[in-house]
Amino acid sequence: MTKSEQILLVGCGKMGGALIEGWIGRGVMPSAIFVIDPMQPDVPTGVSIRDGFEAIPSAFEPTVVVLAVKPQVMDKVLVPYADVVRSETVFLSIAAGRTIASFEAILGGDARIVRAMPNTPAAVGRGITVLAGNANVSGAQREACESLMAAVGKVAWIDDERLIDAVTGVSGSGPAYVFHLVEAMAAAGVTAGLAPALAMQLARETVVGGGELLGRSAEPAAALRENVTSPGGTTAAALEVLMSEDGLTELMTRAILRATERSRELAG
C-alpha cells in the first residue's frame, strides 16, 4: 500500500479503529483515509469521517474499500457501494461469516473481493489475519490488502475460501480459548489453596510470558514444552493428565471442530 493510495473504511468499531492506527503508524497519510460510520466515533486528526455513503465526495476514488460492519447489516449497508465498483477498487471484508459469493451477488461478478479473518490481538498489533480473494483480484490488489492487514499483525493467504471456517475455529475464536485457559488455571489454583487474586495473577502472567517466549523463540512449541519438563517432575505429572487420550488435545479438537461447523452454519 503506497502512501498516496486512498482507503474507504466502512464501519469504525474496535477493529476498524485498530486498523486506522496501524495504517497511520505504517506511513499512510490520515488525509488518505475516509471513514463512513453513523456513530461518528473519534478518529485521528486528519482522517475524514461521515455518517453515510451519500457524504462521500465525488472526487474520492478509493483504492481499497474496507468493509468492517456487522455481518447482519452488511447487505443493507453494501448496496450503495456497487456504484464505486471499478477495476482499480478492491473490497476487503473483515465481516465474519460473509462469503465472497454473497458480496458478488450485490456488487456484481466483476467486483474484486478479498475476504479476511482477523482476530482480536490486532488491537495491540499482534493479530493474525488470513485472506482469500476471488479470481478478479490482481497481484497489486493482493499486495495492497496484505499491507493493510499487516498493519495489525501477521498475514497469511489461502487459495480455498472454504478453509476460512477452519481458520475461524483456530485463530478467529482462538483468543477466547487462551483467555479461558487463564480462567481455568486460576480456578485450579484456588482449588489447590491459593487466594483468588494471586491465582489469577500467576495464571495471567504465565500465559502472557509463555506467549512472549514462544513469539521470540525459533524453537517449536513442542521443544519449549520439553524444555520445561523434567522426567518424573511436577510438569511431567501435569502433562500426563493433559496429554491423556481424553485430555487437552481431544478437548481442543472438539472445540475447534464445533467452531468450524458453526462458522459454516452462519455462512449459510
For residues 36 and 254, give the distance between their C-alpha atoms in angstroms, rounded to a whole number: 39
Mean pLDDT value of segment 194-203: 99
**Residue 2 belongs to a domain:** no
Please give the pLDDT value at position 239: 98
- For the stretch 67-122, pLDDT in tens is 999 988 998 888 888 877 677 899 999 998 899 999 999 999 999 999 999 999 99
Domain boundary among 119, 147, 165: 165
For residues 122 and 22, give the distance between their C-alpha atoms in angstroms, rounded to a whole number: 9
User: What's the pLDDT band for 2 if we cut at 50, 70, 90?
Assistant: low
Q: What is the mean pLDDT of the chain?
A: 94
Please give the pLDDT value at position 1: 58
**Residue 23 belongs to a domain:** yes
Domain hosting 235: range is 172-267
E strand spans, 97-238: 112-117, 127-133, 153-157
Mean pLDDT value of segment 26-32: 94
Specify the range with the lowest mean pLDDT, choosing from 43-57, 155-169, 224-238, 242-256.
Answer: 43-57
Q: What is the pTM of this model?
A: 0.93
**Residue 19 belongs to a domain:** yes
Mean pLDDT value of segment 159-165: 97
Backbone angles phi, psi at 176, to 5 degrees: -65, -35
Residue 236 is placed in which grid cell? 511431567
- For the stretch 199-216, pLDDT in tens is 999 999 999 999 999 999
Specify the range with the lowest mean pLDDT, choosing from 71-75, 112-116, 186-190, 219-223.
Answer: 71-75
pLDDT at residue 149 is higher than 70: yes
Residues 23 and 150 in one domain: yes
Please give the pLDDT value at position 97: 87
Please give the pLDDT value at position 59: 81
Domain boundary among 107, 138, 165: 165
Instruction: Give the type of residue at 130.
Output: V
Closest alpha carbon to 6 in 70, 57, 62, 75: 62
Task: Give the CATH number, domain containing residue 183.
Answer: 1.10.3730.10
pLDDT at residue 35 is higher than 90: yes
User: What's the pLDDT band for 24 if we cut at 50, 70, 90?
Assistant: very high
Q: Given its phi and psi angles, is residue 125 left (phi above 0), alpha (psi -120 to 50 degrees) or beta? A: left
Is the pLDDT higher at 239 or at 58?
239
Mean pLDDT value of segment 183-193: 99
**Residue 14 belongs to a domain:** yes
E strand spans, the chain: 7-10, 33-36, 48-50, 64-67, 90-93, 112-117, 127-133, 153-157
Domain boundary among 144, 165, 186: 165
Residues of the chain above pLDDT 70, percent: 98
Residues 156 and 181 in one domain: no
Task: Give the CATH number, domain containing residue 126.
Answer: 3.40.50.720
User: What's the pLDDT band for 267 if we cut at 50, 70, 90?
Assistant: confident
Residues contacting 104, CB < 8 A, separation 6+ = 111, 113, 134
Please give the pLDDT value at position 4: 62
Is the pLDDT higher at 53 or at 94?
94
